């Protein structure tokens, strides 16, 4: 769209203050009637970047010839023949705010286009979702019963689930200090340490074990390796939520290794053999070179769990890579300080795609969308509740947006022919 497509309309000045720009969520247009403005957060972000005070508000009502405030507006075609607007309004006689409002509308109008958006599925594995559901069910069942429900951390669940748990009165805690007798305790998907489990057994508590079955298998395998006198190499990041629970099953006999070079730190001073375990939640592709380096040093090293593998991380990485490969731009929503968000960005960049990490909707700038017709969208586990949906809604205000979802999934069967 060009500058000529921007219309300047008179609107009632009630509620408009000098010095601020009002970005409407809905606006009255004499040509198209009442219009929604899904891109309002994007326009507001541009104005804030210019240092202008911004207020997002509903400006329904028809423009009138005797009104003295100014509205800058451009319309965009939307789904099923509908029309949306990109707009900003200012009080009468406010030249500085008017210039900023028009500029913001113009720059977003310039990137209005028909686009496709491909979502990279959910960032949450089935184990985390199951644990979250189990916790919600426990909190719901015991609400008003007089028995408090405690959810032990690391409670790695979607933020919406966490909000629901707190709304039901559940208490998220990292210890058993202060847990009342007779209370209900829900274990997280990544499990708990052997020491904490022993403490639970001594107390008068109802325990709901929501440990992921694959994590539970890994914990049991670590214990068996220690009983055999083996040194266990846990392949994965040391700060992963499952690391301590698994390592606690073989105290003094676990080495956590997350790069091929760190296999040199493995100490077999106990005189036993070497077993290795790919940490649940760590991608097979990332673990393979580490295992190769380990076996080149210790040819007799064998997997502690030969047949049980977590494919969730590999499926997720494959999904992100596939989505990025088919996109002109990959948006990753999440906390810029999050290791998970940074990992997603790295996977997407491996596909040769431009990547932008988005902590909030107004982090999206119009220059990011220049010549971009296919957008990928991936959500980090660090993303605030609803952020991905807000990003999608805002982009839908810049023209027709075709949305699809992709998620790669590995299916296990009893045999190769099953």
pLDDT at residue 16 in the model? 85
| 161-195 tens-digit pLDDT | 999 999 999 999 988 888 988 899 999 999 999 99
Low-confidence residues in the chain, pLDDT < 70: 1-4, 61-66, 269-271, 306-307, 414-418
For residue 373, give the nearest of 348, 333, 401, 345 by alpha carbon.
401
Question: How many whole angstroms separate alpha carbon 222 and alpha carbon 230?
Answer: 9
CA dihedral 295→296→299→304, nearest 10 degrees, is: -10
SS3 call for 209: strand
Question: How many whole angstroms separate alpha carbon 157 and alpha carbon 139?
Answer: 15
Question: How many whole angstroms separate alpha carbon 380 and alpha carbon 359?
Answer: 10
Neighbouring C-beta atoms of residue 29, cutoff 10 Å = 18
Two structure tokens written together for 174: 């990292």
pLDDT at residue 100 in the model? 96
Question: How many whole angstroms separate alpha carbon 292 and alpha carbon 32?
Answer: 65
Q: Are 27 and 87 in contact, with CB atoms under 8 Å apart? A: yes
Question: How many whole angstroms separate alpha carbon 319 and alpha carbon 182?
Answer: 44
pLDDT at residue 38 in the model? 96
pTM of the model: 0.88
Domains of the chain: 3-112 (no CATH), 118-122+312-405 (3.40.1010.20), 126-211 (3.40.50.11270), 227-303 (3.40.1010.20)
SS3 call for 261: helix
| 112-128 tens-digit pLDDT | 999 999 999 899 999 99
pLDDT at residue 2 in the model? 47
Helical spans, DSSP H, in 110-145: 126-141
pLDDT at residue 35 in the model? 93
pLDDT at residue 154 in the model? 78
Two structure tokens written together for 284: 């097979």
pLDDT at residue 343 in the model? 92
CA dihedral 245→248→250→256, nearest 10 degrees, is: 70
Contacts (Cβ under 8 Å, ≥6 apart) of 53: 19, 20, 21
Q: Are 37 and 86 in contact, with CB atoms under 8 Å apart? A: yes
Element (H, E) at 281: none
């Amino acid at each position: 769209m060009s500058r000529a497509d921007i219309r300047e309309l008179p609107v009632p000045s009630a509620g408009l203050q000098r010095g601020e720009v009002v970005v409407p969520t809905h606006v009255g247009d004499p040509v198209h009637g009442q219009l929604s403005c899904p891109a309002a957060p994007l326009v507001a972000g541009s104005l804030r970047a210019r240092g202008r005070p911004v207020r997002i508000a509903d400006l329904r009502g028809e423009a009138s010839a005797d009104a003295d405030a100014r509205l800058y507006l451009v319309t965009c075609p939307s789904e099923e023949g509908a029309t949306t607007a990109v707009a900003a309004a200012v009080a009468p006689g406010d030249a500085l705010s008017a210039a900023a409002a028009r500029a913001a509308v113009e720059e977003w109008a310039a990137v209005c286009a028909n686009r496709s958006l491909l979502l990279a599925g959910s960032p949450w594995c089935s184990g985390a979702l199951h644990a979250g559901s189990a916790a919600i069910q426990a909190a719901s069942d015991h609400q008003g019963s007089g028995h408090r429900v405690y959810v032990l951390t690391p409670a790695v669940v979607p933020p919406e689930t966490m909000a629901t748990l707190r709304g039901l009165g559940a208490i998220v805690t990292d210890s058993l200090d202060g847990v009342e007798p007779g209370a209900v305790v829900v274990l997280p998907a990544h499990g708990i340490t052997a020491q904490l489990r022993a403490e639970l057994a001594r107390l008068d508590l109802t325990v709901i074990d929501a440990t992921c079955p694959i994590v539970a298998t890994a914990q049991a395998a670590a214990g068996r390796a220690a009983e055999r006198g083996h040194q266990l190499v846990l392949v994965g990041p040391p700060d992963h939520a499952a690391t301590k629970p698994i390592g606690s099953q073989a105290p003094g006999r676990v080495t956590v290794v997350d790069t091929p070079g760190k296999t040199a730190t493995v100490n077999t001073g106990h005189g036993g053999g070497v077993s290795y375990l790919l940490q649940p939640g760590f991608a097979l592709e990332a673990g393979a070179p580490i295992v190769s380096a380990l076996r080149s040093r210790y040819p007799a090293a064998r997997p502690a769990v030969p047949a049980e593998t977590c494919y969730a991380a590999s499926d997720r990485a494959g999904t992100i890579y596939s989505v990025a490969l088919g996109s002109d731009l990959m948006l990753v929503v999440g906390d810029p300080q999050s290791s998970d968000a940074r990992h997603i960005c790295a996977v997407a960049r491996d596909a040769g795609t431009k990547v932008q990490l988005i902590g909030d909707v107004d982090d999206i700038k119009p220059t990011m969308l220049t010549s971009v017709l296919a957008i990928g969208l991936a959500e980090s586990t660090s993303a605030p509740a609803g952020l991905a949906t807000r990003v999608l809604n805002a982009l839908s205000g810049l023209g027709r947006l075709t949305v699809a979802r992709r998620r790669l999934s590995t299916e296990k069967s009893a045999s190769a022919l099953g």
